[in-house]
Structure 1
Amino acid sequence: MKIKLIILSVFVFALFYAPKLSAQSDPEAKKIVNKVLQKVEAYNNVIISFRYTLENTTENVKQETRGDVTIEDDKYVLNLMGTQRIFDGEYIYTIIPEDEEVIISPYNKDDNNEITPSSMLTFFKDGYDYKMDIIQNNKGRKIQFVKLIPTDQEKEVKEILLGIDQQTYHIHNLIQIQDNGTKTEIKVNSFKFNQPLSEILFQFNEKKYSNYYINRIK
C-alpha cells in the first residue's frame, strides 16, 4: 500500500507543481493557453475521469491506472488506485480502505510542496514558456499540443506537452517528461462541468470510518 500512496503523492505533486516565475512565450501558443484558462475559470465545478500512465523505458517500468477527480474552487475529491483523497479547503483526508486507515493533514497554502489537484487545469498559468507543437487527429478531433518549458532551469521537469482540443479548448491530455527519462501522462476520458453536486461531497464524515485507524498529522 505504501507504493500506491507514493504514486498518489507523485500524481498530486509532480504534474501540478509550477514555479511562480514570469515567462516570455510564443504569442500564438499563449493565446491558446489563455483560452483554455478562461473557459476553466468560468466553470463552477468540473468532473474529470482520466487515465494515468507512468513510464521509464530505461528502467523498464510502466504503470497505468484510472481515476477521477471532482473540483470546485480549491476543494476536490480524488479517487486513484483504490485510495480517496478529499480536500475541504482546510484539511486533506487520505482514505486507504486496504489498510483501514485515514490520514488527516492540514493544508498550508504557503507551502509550495502542497499543491492540490485543483491546480490540474490551471497549473500552467505561471512559470512556463509556451511554444506551439504538433497537431494530432484523435477520432476526428484536432488536438493542438503546446509545449510548456519551465522557466526555472533547476526543476527536474524537462518539459510538459499540453494537448488541447481545438473545438472545445478543453485539455485532452498532459504529458510530462523529466530529466531522468520518466514520462507521465494524464489522458482525459471524460470532462463534465457545472454539474449538480452534493452539499456534503467535500466533507469528511469520521463516523463512517469508526473502525479505521485515524492518523492525524499536525
Structure 2
Amino acid sequence: MAKRIHLYFHFTGLLRALLKIQSFYFPPSLVSSNGRHLAEFLVVPLILIFLSPAVFPQNNDPSGQILEKVSANYKSFNSFSASFSYEIENKSAGIHEKDNGKVFMMGNKYVIELSGQKIINDGTDLFVYIKSQKEMNISKYEKDDDEITPSNLFTFYNKNFKYIFVEELKEHGSITEIIELTPKDHKRNIFKIRLFIDKKKKLINSAQLFDRNGSIYNYTLTDFSLNPPELNDAFFSFDKSKYPGVHIEDLR
C-alpha cells in the first residue's frame, strides 16, 4: 500500500445526510431540533483521533497493546488545537467534496471553524453560525447513549467495535502501524475503519472510513498543538458582541 491514506473519521448522525448535498454548506434543514447532529457530524471525526479504548483483550493480536499505549498518551492531554482538511468521495453518486478548517477542544467543550461555518459547544449549549446567511442557531446540547463524546471516547470502541492489527508500513523514515476496526453491529452503515498510528510517537496520524453506500471519508490533521495557552472557558463561550448584525435563532 504505497499510497498515503489520509485521515478518515466517523461522524454519528449525519453521514447519510452528507451524501445528499453538493457542497460543504450545511443548511438549517440538516440540523435537528436540538442542534446536536450537525455538531456531531463535524466534531466526531476529530474526536476519534483520541478514541482509543482503555482495555483491549483480543487474543495475541498486538492491536490491543498498541491502542492501550495510544490511549494513555492522549488521556494525558488537557486540551488541543489543530488544523484539518477533509475530503468525502462517492464515485457512484458523483460526490467529491473538500474543505479545511480548525478545531479546538478542552474537556467537553469545542470550537470548529470551517470556511462557511463556526460551531461552538460550551458544554451546555450549541451555537452554529452560518456565515453566508449571517445566522446563529442556538440549541441545548443533549447527548444520547450512542453519541461519541470527550467523556466516553476512550471506551466507545471497546464496546462497539472489534479490532485487528493489519500491517506496518515504512514511509519517509517512519513506521506506521495500521489497525482495522469493524462494528459489532453489522447493520451499521460504516462497516470498516482503519487507523494509521505513528509507531514511535504513538499518535494517530490518519484513519480511513468506509460506508456501505460507497462513500469514503478522508480527514488529515496538521499543526497539532498540545495544551495551547489561549484555550480557556472564555474561548469556548458565545459572545454576542462579536457577531454584529447576525440573526440569532434561539431554539433552547
TM-score (norm 2): 0.74
Corresponding residue for 2:8? none
1:91 aligns with 2:112: no
Once the two structures are TM-superposed, the CA of residue 23 in structure 1 deviates from its matched residue by: 8.2
Equivalent residues in 2 for 1:1-218, closer than 5 Å: 4-5=25-26, 9=38, 10-12=41-43, 25=58, 27-110=61-144, 112=146, 115=148, 118=150, 122=154, 124-199=157-232, 200-218=234-252
> For each residue in 1:44-71, what CA deviation from the matched residue of structure 2 results, as whole angstroms up to 9, or x when unmatched?
1111212211011222321111122111
In the alignment of these two chains, the number of paired residues is 214
Q: Please state how far the C-alpha of 1:83 moved relative to its aligned partner.
A: 1.0
Cα distance in 2 between the residues matched to 1:16 and 1:41? 12
Looking at structure 2, the residues matched to 110 and 121 of structure 1 have their Cα atoms a distance apart, in angstroms, of 13
CA 98–65 in structure 1, closer or farther in 2 if over 3 Å, else same: same
Q: Which structure shows the bigger proportion of residues in strand conformation? A: 1
Match for 1:95: what amino acid?
Y
Contact 1:40 1:121 (8 Å CA) reproduced: no
Q: Deviations over 1:103-148 (max 9, x none)?
A: 11111123645x55x4897453541111112333343222211101
Name the Cα RMSD after superposition.
3.0
User: Which structure 2 residue ranges, 5 or more long, are not aligned?
Assistant: 1-20, 32-36
| Distance in 1, Cα, partners of 2:103 & 2:152 | 10
CA distance in 1, matches of 2:173, 2:157: 27
Kindly state the Cα deviation for residue 186 of structure 1 after the two structures are TM-superposed: 1.4
